[in-house]
Amino acid sequence: METAHRRRPGGPRGRLGIGNLYEYDRDRIGFLQRSQQEYGDVFRYSPSTSFVLEPGLTHEILAQTNRDFGAESFLFSGTRAALEEFTKVAWTGRRASRPGLNPKTVALLANSLLDRFRAVANSSNEKEVDVFDLMCQFTSGAAVNFCFGEQNAGTLAATLDRTATAIDAVTNSSLTYPRWLPIPRVRRAVKADQMLRNVLSAQVYEARQTGVSSDAAGLLQVLLSVADEPLKDDVIVEILHAVLRGARGTPAATLTWAVRELSLRPDIVSRIAAEARGLETLTSSGQFSSSSLPYTEAFVKELLRVYPPAWILEREVRHDTCLGEWEFTAGERIIVSPLIVHHDSRWWSSSPSTFSPERWLSGTMPHARHAFLPFGGGPRVCFGRQFAFLELTIAVAALAADYTIQITNLDTSPTAPQSLLLPRGLRSRIQCRASYA
């Protein structure tokens, strides 16, 4: 291997004792953009952490995940053995659940997603609500529906919501907490996580005893029906846990951005509403896909470009390795940022600072290769992206066609996003205009 021209990335030195922590925490996005301008696409944040903000290198990191780079997908940072075990489980589950996740099967859920969205939105009719909380009610129910069909959907969604608050307090933090740390927030999170796993274990046990009926189809049924190498209960629980956790906050964040943008852009609302006429007929056809509503789909893509909820992704370097002209040593952390790449004008054919769904409708790819990555990439690419597109398109179409949105506080731009990019605290009144309210 040629190493003569390899070098370690440079970067801002920061302050004595705390390095760049203060500047980063004050304005995370601004800090990254300023550091990129000064030091280039690859820079060192601290002795053990670097940012990589170029699409080709980002792709290389994501594509080499599980080989050269480890992913911290475990709840809090577990041991290496636990992480490796999780990776194995995630892979088995991904293969096993392929039939449950293909676009045809996912399309069958379209009508119940529409009903679910309307039920949640109507429950808050005219009340001022926290938009993210409201959207989580929808995505929790949708996630449970996706995993278990309609059976027990209400109770399970409530458990997911209850446990999510305690777990998110730890996983959404900028700090990494070890599971054993004896502080109340970690104890609460571990307890909630255990409670969620217990509930899922009981579901799996019950489904094995009673057999899952076909009208209760869902991912669980797919996992239980794997014939070649049947999955053990704890593996199924791990998969359901990952899917339920992945399917709640992230799409809810995108829908919170959708509410914000729609409230500011009546022209977009009119176009989506016109396209969404007859939404019910479309969703009940069993053939619905996000491309059934091309403008709405373009709006969703633009939301995911401008506000990718998973705005940074972390990897750990597994062994000394090189990336382009840079070298990294085992144990270092590398962070990539879909957000920064999505806003870098070098990679976009028209200005990335303009919010423009139209960029997705020209028939040609509006960005350089690997420059649009809201769902990550490589072996850990989002497991639920087809389902996510479906639920986001349906919810946005229903919002624009059937509701009037009034935002009560717009000043919620996140300069210091934690694990999710989110207009935290956004409140609104969502009023139903349609006759079924």
DSSP per-residue codes, 81-147: HHHHHHHHHHHHHHHHTHHHHSHHHHHTTHHHHHHHHHHHHHHTTTSEEEHHHHHHHHHHHHHHHHH
Nearer to ligand HEM, 200 or 310 (CB): 310
Q: What's the min distance (Å) between Cβ of 94 and ligand HEM?
A: 6
CA 65 → CA 61, 90, 378, distances in Å?
6, 13, 7
Question: Whole-number minimum distance, CB 436 to ligand HEM, in Å?
Answer: 26
Q: Look up tokens 């609460």; give the residue.
A: 188
Nearest alpha-carbon partner for 419 in 280, 279, 246, 257? 246
Distance CA 244, CA 62 (A): 23
Min CB(252)–ligand HEM separation in Å? 8
Nearer to ligand HEM, 367 or 380 (CB): 380
* Strands 69-71 and 321-323, bridge-based pairing: unpaired
Least CB distance from residue 377 to ligand HEM, whole Å? 8
Choice between 366 and 374, CB closer to ligand HEM: 374
Identity of the residue, 19 or 419, whose beta carbon is nearer to ligand HEM in the bound complex: 419
Indicate the residue among 12 and 145 with the shorter CB distance to ligand HEM: 145
- Cα 201 → chain centroid: 24
Shortest separation between residue 375's beta carbon and ligand HEM, angstroms: 5
Give the count of alpha carbons within 13 A of 374, CB side only. Answer: 22
Min CB(15)–ligand HEM separation in Å: 30
SS (H, E, C) 247-279: CCHHHHHHHHHHHHHHHHCHHHHHHHHHHCCCH
Q: Which is nearer to ligand HEM, 12 or 245 (CB)?
A: 245
CB of 89 to ligand HEM, least distance (A): 9
Q: How many other CB atoms are found less than 10 A from the CB of residue 378?
A: 19
What type of residue is 416? A
Q: How far apart are the first and last CA of the chain?
A: 66
Q: CB of 156 within 8 A of CB of 265?
A: no
Which chain residues interact with ligand HEM by CB under 6 A? 71, 73, 90, 94, 146, 242-243, 246-247, 250-251, 254, 309-310, 313, 374-376, 380, 382-384, 387-388
* Residue 72 vs 128, nearer CB to ligand HEM: 72
